[in-house]
Structure 1
């Protein structure tokens, strides 16, 4: 059975101002904005409210009631951003928290309260922390969002409604508790219907005829007969594990133990579905409201607890626990099916070697960054700088084969660099070449190896490549662009370095 918590921030914006400006404590103040040429009260502090200053009042009238009233500017963008921040903090109590604009939150607490020892301590902890943070709140728990919302705003009774007890709970409440439009509430009052129990037992056709379908919809939401949509601020990851801590965790050892437990649970779920994660995020919710997180990635799907723990272990020192961490959440936002065991990887003959190499690459990426690791496959182009393509994973297979039996340099320049040469003609390698101001005398040479472009790409000049070795034993891959001729003196380029 579903259980929801509705939290009402009675003075959300003015409480925020008090937190930002402590000097306002004890002073009556409001937030106001101009509407139709007049300044209107948009939010009133508790002190001003007790003096009769309410939302919607004209500021001039409010000052007539309370001359020492302080008026501050109202920012309409604050409500949603502030509620979103509080909602992200509340994720420590449930993974599903939704905004209830303009001044509330809705928590899907299904299956969460037992972690705090029951619904009463669960709700008490939520309200206690919010009140300690400076917010004046009321909250209630029920089977439906509508009933929890109604009880939090219009009832002073015990805020936890027993399962299936929403009808009895909302009976004595006013019609406003059903979130009805103002004109419907006004019509009910004109008929002398001031409590829900006055009309809840009326025949449904009568209610629809007199008050419209909205009456039946809102009643149905409160009683659980009509489904009410719920949009959490952070969608629930299909593969997520949570671990609350009864005492704040402040040590690296404690973080490691929590991580180990989360990985064991997550990997067990993944293995049962023949899946592996490609990305994992560990979020640590601190008691001061801050969220610290670290992230890992893998070169292929993995559900190995030991391997994933080693990747996270490198990043645990970056997590600052401060006063302590009270909730750990492990998300796997990128999950893929585990591939069938394969017998080759690059030129290896064992599937076990494949796993070992994949895990080694993951550890290297965790230490130095994934950008330092590359795997290249042949591409269907003749010119060397175009004949390779970077693979996205270890599972990628070549679509063609390397089309040469000639040696290739271990370092290939992305763009060939021009050099000055002295060479016999027509097809001899250079005797001397100058590269970046340094003269190299060629002692040995091999070639030429002619490479032309594909005819459908270009009909330009061909390249004649030579492998040359200078007097110091350094070996280079150079080429001549085109032939020597009466009207053509070809350019020479250096394209790579051999070991």
Structure 2
């Protein structure tokens, strides 16, 4: 399929946006100006101001001599880029590849997109009509190359949709400015009487390069399609994406759910056919008022199950604000991974953290409370209790070694051992009772001690003698005495964990 590009030129970007925000300015002469060496120079102006003979680069003082009632607004650096970025995001509903073309334009790769609107003419008509309805004065063009589309939009008076393979003839009558050449080179061409591209298009490249520089040849070749030129999209296209254009603007939760389910079915069908599953995805919606929003999901295991992925999005659909109506939904697969062969696992009854059921449960929980609130631990190669568990966020990661202790360990270990008051016979007997948080616990059975030496190469300190102690209520605790017994100080007992 041959490449097709569109260039959209916003002839009065800043002044149009000002009139959109302040409708009372419509039809009036006003300009934007910025200071330079103590004087204010005009950077943007309306057609009404231009009709008085005012031009860009003129000082405000000279302009007010021509029209004393001229309205002047301060020019804010970077405002045009901010406006173009917003307009580029709006254009994403027509193509996924949109590039900013400062200071006042956009470039679109529309290859394979125009048939969705009934052809290039209808496609361009819809974009232009909606932008003009919003208040922007635009000139668009379509051609086989970026350079040709740019030149036609700014310099041609007719034939703004250039047929395939006709861009050379379309460029011939245009001025050199259509090739995006610098000002000093344009002045040089004008002084030589080369007022049209046809005046030098057939000159040998060596002659053009010697007299006008290599940039001249590059721009000419790019416009003619003899030199490759690429767009750098505002939004990086993803390999797997699905879009749904609504026949009528969508405002209800039910309609949003139907659209989401339809997109998931299409996307998962493609992924299933290639043996892939989603790890992260983003649903973006575009409203008729030009605003948009998105929600993202993530999974622990690659999944192409529509029902599971729909549940993950379902928990976040309350954040969708349809406003006056949503006209387009786009579902992007941000990250995909190969899906394991489940057929061989049907008879294995495999469970645990690697099972698909556990992974899907974690996905749903994470969708409600966030991934940061879910913790997973792997065994660490340490006897010291505080270091036996190592946090990890990857559910598929395996323990790095087979190291483990054969001693019983509690189901819950406190982050920090809590001091208790205990009464014990000496020297190696477990406590007969202990008091924790003001509650008295009488020990009816105990096992121990298990001495755990501190890892002196990591930190200094006393060893610990651990006991498994059961109180009258049948609750079992993991207690320890820090260091050797001291008859004068009985405040070195601690509670460290709980058994089931």
TM-score interval (norm. to shorter): over 0.9
**Aligned residue for 1:213?**
214
1:94 aligned to 2:95?
A: yes
Q: Match for residue 80 of structure 2?
A: 79
Moved more, 390-399 or 89-98: 390-399
Tell me the distance in 1 between the aligned counterparts of 2:19 and 2:438.
69
Mark the CA change 1:403 to 1:455 in structure 2 (over 3 Å): closer, same or farther. Answer: farther
Per-residue CA distance 1:257-296 (angstroms, 9 max, x = gap): 3222322332233234332221111111111122122211
Contact 2:449 2:467 (C-alpha < 8 Å) held by counterparts: yes
Distance in 2 (alpha carbons) for counterparts of 1:420 and 1:70: 82
Contact 1:300–1:393 at 8 Å: present in 2 too? no
Encode CA deviations 1:384-427: one digit per residue, 9 max, x unaligned. 22101233233211223463343322221111112222222111
1:185: which partner in 2? 186
Instruction: Find the aligned partners of 2:128 and 2:495 in 1 and give their Cα distance.
Output: 72
Aligned to 1:68: 69
Runs of 5+ consecutive residues of structure 2 not aligned to the other structure: none
2:226 corresponds to:
225
Aligned-residue offset at 1:108: 0.7
Q: Which stretch shifts more, 134-143 or 15-24?
A: 15-24
Aligned to 1:432: 433
Deviations 1:38-71 (A, max 9, x none): 1100111221122221111111111111110011
Q: Find the residue that maps to 1:431 and give its secondary structure.
A: strand
Q: Which residue of 1 aligns with 2:122?
A: 121
Report if the CA contact (8 A) 1:343-1:350 is conserved: no
Q: Equivalences for 1:310-321 in 2 at 5 Å?
A: 310-321=311-322
Aligned partner of residue 355 in structure 2, secondary structure: helix
* Structure 1 residues 22-171: aligned runs within 5 Å: 22-171=23-172
Q: Secondary structure in 1 aligned to 2:337?
A: strand
Which residue of structure 2 lines up, in the alignment, with residue 468 of structure 1? 469
Equivalent-residue separation in structure 2 for 1:209 and 1:394 (angstroms): 63
Q: Aligned partners of 1:280 and 1:442: how far apart in 2?
A: 55
| Residue 201 of structure 1, CA deviation | 2.1
The answer to whether the aligner puts 1:356 opposite 2:319 as a matched pair is no
On the 8 A contact 2:421/2:490 being kept in 1, the answer is no
Work out the CA distance in 2 between the residues paired with 1:81 and 1:198.
Answer: 38
Counterpart CA distance in 1 for 2:23 and 2:296 is: 38
Paired with 1:279 and 1:301, the residues of 2 have a C-alpha distance of 9
Task: Indicate if the aligned counterparts of 1:422 and 1:433 stay in contact, CA closer than 8 A.
Answer: yes
**Structure 1 position 419 matched with structure 2 position 420:** yes
Show the counterpart of 2:289.
288
Find the aligned partners of 2:411 and 2:463 in 1 and give their Cα distance. 23
| More off after superposition, 455-464 vs 75-84 | 455-464
Aligned residue number for residue 410 of structure 1: 411
Q: Which runs of 5+ in 1 are unaligned?
A: none
C-alpha deviation, 1:462, in angstroms: 1.5
Alpha-carbon distance, 1:124 to partner: 0.8
Higher mean alpha-carbon deviation, 437-446 vs 171-180, is at 437-446
Query: Could you tell me how far apart the structure 2 residues matched to 1:128 and 1:344 are?
Result: 57
Instruction: Give the superposition deviation at 1:104.
Output: 0.5
Bigger shift: residues 134-143 or 229-238: 229-238
